[in-house]
Amino acid sequence: MALKKITIAIDGHSSTGKSTMAKALARRIGYAYVDTGAMYRAVTLYALRNKLIKGETVDEKALKEHLKRGDIMITFRPTKEGKSVTVLNGKNVERYIRSMRVSNVVSIIAAIGFVRKAMVKQQQAMGKDKGVVMDGRDIGTVVFPDAEMKVFATASAEVRAQRRFDELRAKGDTTTTFEEVLENVTERDRIDSTRKESPLRQAEDAMVLDNSHMTIEEQNEWLYNLYLSRVRS
Ligand code: DC
């Protein structure tokens, strides 16, 4: 008997490795993977490049116009290595959307109601046929409140900052300090959890995954077992 196709929502704090675990699970079970954080990052990159953000102030009127005109097209493209990259208006922007320049202001863009509305609409379209693993902040609460499997990932702020710091160093960033990264992680938690529009919160029916002291293998097994329990029930 073919296993039923479900929708998998993985939400949680930043730098908990949500995308790593979501990607691994999607590959293992043959589902599509959608990184919704990358979509907010791509809008942020677009806004920065078009000077629609100055300091912490966003020209919301202009941004709304650009979105409405269809000037901000975000898609995902598979690479030859079996990875997926974020594409903004036809160009691979994967590298740029992960920079500190984008990380520092993405929470401000992600807090804007009309930006969220536009992204949620696209995400719902991407997942309409199920068989998708989507990671973000509001997937189990807003985008797919009826998802059959919901996970809320978390870990201590220090563990998360260390992971992001190691990532930046591995990418050749030798200037950003651990303290700066920790501050960015803490500040993003605060903005994400206290914003008016779809604040980050755990859905009532989500399973909590605290991976502060878990290996990647342990967490992958945890997720896979949860998936099996959901498709067999
Ligand atoms: O997961 P990430 O760090 O790439 O997310 C980038 C930002 O986008 C982060 O500040 C939270 C926000 N975000 C959101 O508000 N809703 C989502 N579904 C995904 C990300």
- Compute the distance between CA of residue 229 and CA of residue 207 in angstroms, rounded to an integer: 12
Residues 35-78 pLDDT 10s: 999 999 999 999 999 999 998 899 999 999 999 999 999 999 98
In a mutational test of the pocket of ligand 1, which residue from 10, 23, 100, 137 has the highest number of ligand atoms less than 8 Å from its CB?
137
pLDDT digits (tens, 9 = 90+) for 10-29: 999 988 999 999 999 999 99
Kindly give the distance from the C-alpha atom of residue 8 to the centroid of ligand 1, in angstroms, as a whole number: 17
111 alpha carbon to ligand 1 midpoint, in Å? 10
Please state the pTM of the whole predicted model.
Answer: 0.90
Q: Decide whether any atom of ligand 1 lies within 6 Å of the 16 Cβ.
A: no
Residue nearest to atom 14 of ligand 1 (CA): 137
- Ligand 1 pocket, residue 14 CB under 6 Å: yes
Q: What is the signed CA dihedral for 146, 203, 187, 92, rounded to 10 degrees?
A: -20
pLDDT of residue 39: 98
Looking at the DSSP assignment, which residues form a beta bridge with residue 75? 87
pLDDT over 80 at 206, yes or no: yes
Of residues 171, 67, 81, the one with CA closest to residue 120: 67
Q: Look at residue 82 and tell me whether its pLDDT is greater than 90.
A: no
State the chain's mean pLDDT as an integer: 94
Q: How confident is the model at residue 140 (pLDDT cuts 50, 70, 90)?
A: very high
Nearest partner of 96 among 56, 57, 48, 54, judged by Cα: 48
From the CB of 137, is ligand 1 less than 6 Å away? yes
Structure tokens at 68: 């409405």
